[in-house]
Amino acid sequence: MTERENFFSIIKRTGYERIPVMYSFCPYLQETCNDKVEALLKEIGFTPSPIAYAKSIPVKDSDTEKFRCYYDDLKEGATIDIYGVANEPGSAAAMHMTHMRHPLERMETLEELETYPFPEFVWDEEDVAAQLACNQAFKAQDRVVCGDMQCTVWETAWYMRGMEVLMMDMMSEEEMAEFVLDKVTALAVQRAEYYVKTGVDMLYFGDDVGMQRTIMMSRELYQAWIKPRLKKVVDAARAINPEVVIFYHSCGFVEPFIEDLIEVGIDVLNPVQPECMDFGEIHAKYGDRISFHGTIGTQTTMPFGTPEEVRAEVFKNLDIAGQKGGLLVSPTHMLEPEVPWENIKAYIQACRDYTKSDS
């Protein structure tokens, strides 16, 4: 199998030849471990992740300074994104972490929300053709092309409005919640359509709706506010390419929502945090209808386990998934500075060894 065939066969649960190595590093680990990873892969004769990221939809006005007036006390060094969401730096100890600020947080009327300059996307057939060629080139290199849409509807909306305020809107100021969520959904539809038109193989959606031990909102609230909007985005993508694969990320405990996600048309659920949900149970219940990406704990095994424990966890979860696949085994989240190199090495080695008969 080519890398692409192998990757899609895992997702479709039709068997596989090898386990792709997939992880992301915080800036500190990128600096200290990237070279070591490269050397290790070379040494064991293994290829890195097949994922290549496609370019996102162009923004009409990329000047984000216009949003500064929505804050009166932004810390020096804060950055602002195209939605007007600001991220302030913390102390030196916070490293790459930032503190988020929300431009719509203090608005009290629908009229105020309506005057806010939401981003506008603009593209023409020429853009699409150029990106299509670029993505075809990735495919020719046997890579899987991904459109990154993490922060799809719910998270984009609360990043702008503030989580607490948006939740309260959903409970009692319905027209304000509707306005923000509808605006953001329309933008997500455009983002998805652009990616699919440019020939991506997969879209990576993500909206955290789980907490460590429970869901972030009731299933009723989720079904009323979030699910239909997520479905709109999925449907828009599939209207252009019915085959496009859709990943969905939510941290935490999301078991009560998995049925909804399957119904909406999600193919792969990430990250199935072992600290929050038991992969064996989740797989037994839903594994014939959805595949998984993740399952190796970054709150437990990766930072605090031994290399042997990392290896055992990778093997155990691949055993649960079985010979047909259905699991892209990887650390659940970005690896942070305290994760020992030996554990990263053990993860990569375990992926390589799992399908080798001499292991």
**At a CB cut-off of 8 Å and minimum separation 6, what does 260 contact?**
219, 222, 223, 227
Could you say which residues in the range 264-303 bind another protein, by CB under 8 A? 275, 298-300, 303
> What is the full DSSP assignment across 154-165?
HHHHHHHH-HHH
Among 215, 230, 246, 290, binds another protein (CB under 8 A): 215
Among 1, 94, 130, 133, binds another protein (CB under 8 A): 94
Among 150, 337, 340, 354, binds another protein (CB under 8 A): 337
- Cα-atom radius of gyration of the chain, to the nearest Å? 21
Nearer to another protein, 106 or 213 (CB): 213
- Tell me the CA distances in angstroms from 109 to 113, 153, 173, 180, one per residue in order: 7, 21, 9, 12
Tabulate helix, strand, coil % of the chain (nearest 5): 50, 15, 35
Smallest distance from another protein to CB 114, Å: 24
Nearer to another protein, 132 or 211 (CB): 211
Binding flag, residue 221, another protein (CB under 8 A): yes
- Tell me the CA distances in angstroms from 303 to 70, 331, 334, one per residue in order: 39, 10, 11
Smallest distance from another protein to CB 281, Å: 17
Could you say which residues in the range 169-208 bind another protein, by CB under 8 A? 170-172
Among the residue ranges 94-102, 233-241, 259-267, 341-349, the one whose residues contact another protein (CB under 8 A): 94-102
Nearer to another protein, 190 or 343 (CB): 343
Are β-strands 291-296 and 51-53 bridged in parallel, bridged antiparallel, or unpaired? unpaired
- 3-class secondary structure, 206: strand
Binding flag, residue 93, another protein (CB under 8 A): yes
Binding flag, residue 217, another protein (CB under 8 A): yes
Please tell me whether the peptide bond between 271 and the residue prior to it is cis, using omega within 30 degrees of 0: yes
Cβ pair 48, 19 in contact under 8 A: no
> Given the rule CB under 8 A, which residues bind another protein?
90-91, 93-95, 97-99, 163-164, 167-168, 170-172, 211-218, 221, 252, 275, 298-300, 303-304, 336-338
